[in-house]
Amino acid sequence: MAYTRTEHYDQAVTTALTEHYRETLSLLGENPDREGLLNTPMRVAKSMQVLTQGYQMDAHAILNSAKFHEKVNEMVIVKDIEMYSLCEHHMLPFYGKAHIAYIPNEWITGLSKIARVVDVFSRRLQVQERLTTQILEAIKDTLQPLGVAVVIEASHLCMMMRGVQKQNSVTTTSAFYGEFEKNETRSEFIRLIGSKLH
């Protein structure tokens, strides 16, 4: 999915971060005054505000903004939601896809809102395990469904660029609530999203 570009930045935060990134470049042995780096600290300062904009977003408000009463109780799946986040241990990106399902209990939400919930929690400093459960809890608490399932499959640059440097590894995390704790329902979800999760 596409991300909405943030047009407004907190000027005080931008200024403070810019100075810190200038200092960081110097500490790394670079010259922040050379032509190619003159505007880099400000660009990074603005970029980081976009990459962490989830701190200013409310998942419950997003889901409630398109909450409708419907007497349906069949599984609703939104799969292959693009997900980008920053590992809180090294502040390097991890990225992949989220697959989310819920079984309504007389309340549904707009499908795009499910994808937006992924943004809320992924656009923060994160670990994949917590990201998975935060998405589940937000949907569970707001919609009070009969069940929720979340699976995230992601590649972590902290493993690919540094450390063990395993370029082809994929990390899969999952969280299940309610009806999805039953083997039959969970297996149907996993089959429908085409995951290798067992």
pLDDT in tens, 14-72: 999 999 999 999 999 999 999 999 999 999 999 999 999 999 999 999 999 999 999 99
Annotation says 82 is catalytic: no
Catalytic pick among 53, 137, 158, 188: 158
Catalytic pick among 49, 99, 126, 128: 128
Among 117, 175, 179, smallest CA distance to 147 is for 179
Which is it for strands 125-126 and 76-87: parallel, antiparallel or unpaired?
Answer: parallel
111-122 and 128-143 helices cross at what angle (nearest 10)?
Answer: 140
pLDDT in tens, 120-150: 999 999 999 999 999 999 999 999 999 999 9
Catalytic pick among 19, 20, 56, 88: 88
Catalytic pick among 30, 60, 90, 188: 90
Annotation says 181 is catalytic: no
First to last CA, the chain: 27
